Amino acid sequence: MNSPKILAFAGSLRSGSFNKKLVAVAAAAASAAGAEVTAIDLRDLPMPLYDGDIERSHGLPPNAKTFKRLLLEHHGVLISTPEYNSQYPAALKNAIDWASRQEAGEAPLAAFKGKVAGVMSASPGRLAGLRGQTLVRQLLLYLGMAVVPIQVGIPHANDAFDETGRLKDAKQQASIEALGAEVVRYVGRLVLSS
C-alpha cells in the first residue's frame, strides 16, 4: 500500500502565525503515523482574488495551479485556520475557490472530492477560533471531502506554545497530535483501500 500523502498549511499569512505553529504540530504527528507530509505556506503562493474574467482569459494563475496540483497529488489535508470577525480568512477562501475550478479533462472538484481533511484553529481569544473553523469544515464537506470529526481549537494561543513550538498544555498537544494521526488513519481506510 502507498504511504498516505498529506498536505499541511495554515489559513493565515502572518509570519508569526499561531496557526502555522499549530498545523506543524499536527503535521509532525501525521508524519510519525506514517504519512508523507508536505508543508506549505500560502504566503509563498500569492493569488489574485478569484475573478471569472481572469479565468476565462488566462486560465488559473500560476500559483493557483501550483496549489491545485499539490491538492491533487495528496490524499488529504491538515488545515489550521484563524478566525477573522467570526469567519475564516479571505486568503484561505480564495485559494480554495481557485483550486475548485474545473479544468479540461478533470472531474468536478477533483482537488477535493473523496479526500480527507483535518481542521483545527488557534486564536488569542477564549473561543479558540471555533466559529471560523466550523465554517471551514462545512465548506470542505460541501466540496466532497471527508472531514475528520475531531474538532480542536486552542484558545489564548499567544501563550499556548513553548519556544520549541510544542503546546505547553499536554492535553492540547495530545489532541492536536491525535487529529494529525486520525487524518492518516482515515486516508488509509477511505482513500488508499478503495
Q: Where are the domains of the chain?
A: 5-191
CATH number of 5-191: 3.40.50.360
DSSP label of 80:
E
Q: What is the reported pLDDT for 75? A: 97
> Higher confidence at residue 1 or residue 81?
81
Q: What pLDDT is attached to residue 191? A: 74
Q: What is the pLDDT of residue 193?
A: 77
Cα–Cα distance between 152 and 133 in angstroms, integer? 9
Whether the predicted pLDDT of 190 surpasses 90: no
pTM for the full predicted model = 0.95
